[in-house]
Amino acid sequence: MSLALISGSTGLVGSETATFLLNKGFDVIGIDNNERSKLFGKDGDTSRIKRRLKKTYKSYKHFDIDITNRSNLEKIFKKYKNRFSFILHAAAQPSHDWAKTNITKDFNINAVGTLNMLDLTRLYSPKAKFIFTSTNKVYGDNPNKFKFIEKLTRWELKKTDKFYKGIDESLSIDNCTHSFFGVSKSYADLLAQEYNNNFGMNVACFRAGCITGPNHSGAELHGFLSYLVKSCIKKKSYKLIGYKGKQVRDNLHSYDLTNAFWNYYKRPVKDSLFNIGGSRYSNCSILEAIQYVEKKLGIDVKKIKIEIPRVGDHQWYITDITKFKKSYPNFKLKYNVPKILDEIIETFAN
70-101 pLDDT, tens digit each: 999 999 999 998 999 999 999 999 888 889 99
Pairwise CA distance, residues 65 & 76, whole Å: 9
- pTM of the predicted model as reported, rounded to 2 decimal places: 0.93
- 330 CB burial (10 A radius; 0-12, 13-18, 19+): exposed
What is the structure's pLDDT at 213? 78
Long-range contacts of 139-142 (CB under 8 A, 24+ apart): 139/167, 139/171, 139/172, 139/173, 139/176, 140/173, 140/176, 140/177, 140/178, 140/179, 140/182, 140/312, 141/176, 141/177, 141/178, 141/312, 141/313, 141/314, 142/171, 142/172, 142/173, 142/175, 142/176
Give the per-residue pLDDT at 348: 75
Find out whether 166 and 208 touch, Cβ atoms under 8 Å: no
Q: What pLDDT shows up at residue 221?
A: 46
- For the chain, what is the radius of gyration of the CA atoms? 19
Longest dimension (CA), the chain: 57
pLDDT of the residue at 39: 77
Residue type, 209: G
Distance between the two ends of the chain, CA-based, in angstroms? 38
What amino acid is encoded at 116 in this protein? Answer: N
Q: Check: CB of residue 15 under 8 Å from CB of residue 90.
A: no
HEC profile of the chain: CCEEEEECCCCHHHHHHHHHHHHCCCEEEEECCCHHHHHHHHHHCCHHHHHHHHHHCCCEEEECCCCCCHHHHHHHHHHHHHHEEEEEECCCCCCHHHHCCCHHHHHHHHHHHHHHHHHHHHHHCCCCEEEEEEEHHHHCCHHHHCCCEECCCCEECCCCCCCCCCECCCCCCCCCCCCHHHHHHHHHHHHHHHHHHHHCCEEEEEEECEEECCCCCCECCECHHHHHHHHHHHCCEEEEECHHHCCEEEEEEHHHHHHHHHHHHHCCCCCCEEECCCHHHCEEEHHHHHHHHHHHHCCCCEEEEECCCCCCCCCEECECCHHHHHHCCCCCCCCCHHHHHHHHHHHHHC
What are the residue ranges in the chain where pLDDT is below 70?
1, 215-224, 349-350
CA distances for 246 relative to 80, 96, 134, 184, 249, angstroms:
48, 20, 25, 27, 10
Q: What pLDDT, on a 0 to 100 scale, did the predictor assign at position 1?
A: 67
**How far are the Cα atoms of 91, 240, 275 from residue 252, in angstroms, in the given order?**
18, 21, 12
Return left, alpha or beta for 54; rule: phi > 0 is left, psi -120 to 50 is alpha, else beta. Answer: alpha
CB-CB contact of 17 with 261 (8 Å):
yes
Task: Please say whether the beta carbons of 231 and 238 come within 8 A.
Answer: yes
Domains and CATH numbers, the chain: 3-349 (3.40.50.720)
